[in-house]
């Protein structure tokens, strides 16, 4: 399994107000979606989880996983630090 390091990390606010987590890989993104995400449903959420898991199995790319993660954040109104 490949953790799929990202060139540009993403820092997001967790479901605990004022707490942030920086995601630096596809594996961390999958974990964040499963453990730290404020919702566990939604089209973009489900697509992001599938895309991250596929990339970890080398059936997708880390870049696609990163983009899907950002789409899930947008869908769930998760704050991304600039």
- Distance between CA atoms of residues 27 and 30, nearest Å: 5
Q: Crossing angle for the helix pair 62-75 and 43-56, nearest 10 degrees?
A: 160
Q: Classify residue 81: in a domain, yes or no.
A: no
Q: How far apart are CA 73 and CA 82, in angstroms?
A: 13
Residue 30 in any domain: the answer is yes
Q: Which of 65, 57, 55, 49 is closest to 1 using CA atoms? A: 57
- At 2, the pLDDT band (50, 70, 90 cuts) reads low
Counting the structural domains of the chain, the total is: 1
Host domain of residue 54? 5-75
The token pair that represents 51 in the structure block: 């895309």
74 Cβ contact list (under 8 Å, min separation 6): 44
Residue 42: the pLDDT is 96
Residue 82 resides in a domain: no
In a domain, 45, yes or no: yes
In a domain, 26, yes or no: yes
Residue-wise pLDDT tens digits, 34-48: 998 999 899 999 999
Domain assignment present for residue 80? The answer is: no
pLDDT tens for 24-78 read: 999 999 999 999 899 989 999 999 999 999 999 999 999 999 999 999 999 999 9
Query: Residue 15: inside a domain, yes or no?
Result: yes
Helix 26-35 with 62-75: angle, nearest 10 deg: 30
Query: DSSP label at 6?
Result: E
Give the per-residue pLDDT at 1.
61
Q: Is residue 46 in a domain?
A: yes
């Amino acid at each position: 399994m490949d953790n799929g390091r990202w060139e540009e990390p993403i820092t997001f606010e967790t479901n605990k107000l004022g707490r942030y987590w920086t995601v630096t890989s596809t594996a961390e993104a999958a974990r964040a979606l499963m453990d730290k995400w404020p919702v566990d449903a939604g089209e973009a959420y489900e697509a992001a989880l599938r895309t991250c898991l596929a990339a970890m199995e080398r059936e997708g790319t880390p870049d696609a996983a990163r983009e899907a993660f950002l789409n899930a954040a947008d869908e769930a109104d998760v704050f991304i630090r600039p």
